[in-house]
Structure 1
Amino acid sequence: MSQRSQRVSALLRESIQAVISKGLQDPRVRGLITVTKVTTADDLSQSTVYVSIMPVEHADLTMHGLKAAAAHIRRQAGAKLSLGRLPHLLFKLDTTIARQAGVLDALAKVAQEREEREAAEQAEIASDPQHSTEEPAADER
């Protein structure tokens, strides 16, 4: 990607996020929508807009709404930018955040299981009379 297309991508990301944050009239577009990345072709003909949607249950319907509103979003975002020619927008779902959340949930579950196992082992050791930590009395020696 050229330096110019990188600058355009950065400007578009901010501008598109602002348009989406204001809200769209399409009832399919709902949930927390975050523009995670924008990549623009070197000839500035097309930009791919990666979005994260929470909750995940709304993702399919919201993606249909965003694709239908692409021309409107392009016009609104272009009004904020001073570009001669604005790239066409192609929306794609970014599942990176959802995957990261899944990994974090799995790690939390493993940590909880480890704590429960260690607590059970400690309870077993404490209830076992053979693992007494008391010193024998002096007259028993």
Structure 2
Amino acid sequence: MASNRIGRINEEIQRELASLLRTIKDPRVHGLVSITNVDTTNDLRYAKVYVSVLDKSDVKDVIRGLKSAGGYLRRELGRNLSLRYTPELVFQEDTSIDKGTHILKLLNDIEQKESGGHHD
């Protein structure tokens, strides 16, 4: 029951943060920035926010900009969501897309070796 509630809260936070991204004035937060996932602790004290940035060279700057805007984002979340506690936001780069791409490349390499390497 509680995990279902946390799941809904994660979705709400993700949706709110996605819309709030456009209101951040920090110049470091630019380009195509996406909130890919939110993982809130059971006590609602912390929310790990996974961020994906199209231009990988900007990731560190974007994360710094988001951390700098963290107070503003948390205040807006508290205003827009009716939670007893507004969690502390912890921003982290989402590398799952890169990992998925890497695994796909490895699988393709194996497939090409198997199809082209049989000489009996």
Length-normalised TM-score, structure 1: 0.67
How far off is 1:78 after superposition? 2.4
Answer yes or no: is 1:48 the counterpart of 2:75. no
Answer yes or no: is 1:23 the counterpart of 2:23. yes
Answer yes or no: is 1:32 the counterpart of 2:58. no
How far off is 1:101 after superposition? 4.1
Q: Which structure is higher in RCO with an 8 Å CA cutoff and minimum separation 6? A: 2
Inter-partner Cα distance in structure 1 for 2:85 and 2:49 = 17
How far off is 1:37 after superposition? 0.8
- Corresponding residue SS for 2:6: helix
Inter-partner Cα distance in structure 1 for 2:4 and 2:100 = 30
Unaligned runs of 5+ in 2: none
- Corresponding residue SS for 1:2: helix
Answer yes or no: is 1:6 the counterpart of 2:4. no
Indicate how the Cα distance of structure 1 residues 35 and 27 shifts in structure 2: closer, same or farther if over 3 A, else same. same
- The aligned counterpart of 1:62 is 62
How large is the RMSD of aligned CA atoms in angstroms? 2.2
- Corresponding residue SS for 1:50: strand
Deviations 1:55-91 (A, max 9, x none): 1111011111111111111112222212222111111
Indicate how the Cα distance of structure 1 residues 60 and 45 shifts in structure 2: closer, same or farther if over 3 A, else same. same
Indicate how the Cα distance of structure 1 residues 60 and 101 shifts in structure 2: closer, same or farther if over 3 A, else same. same
Indicate how the Cα distance of structure 1 residues 76 and 33 shifts in structure 2: closer, same or farther if over 3 A, else same. same
- The aligned counterpart of 1:96 is 96
% of aligned pairs identical?
Answer: 33
Inter-partner Cα distance in structure 1 for 2:23 and 2:85 = 24
Length-normalised TM-score, structure 2: 0.78
- The aligned counterpart of 1:74 is 74
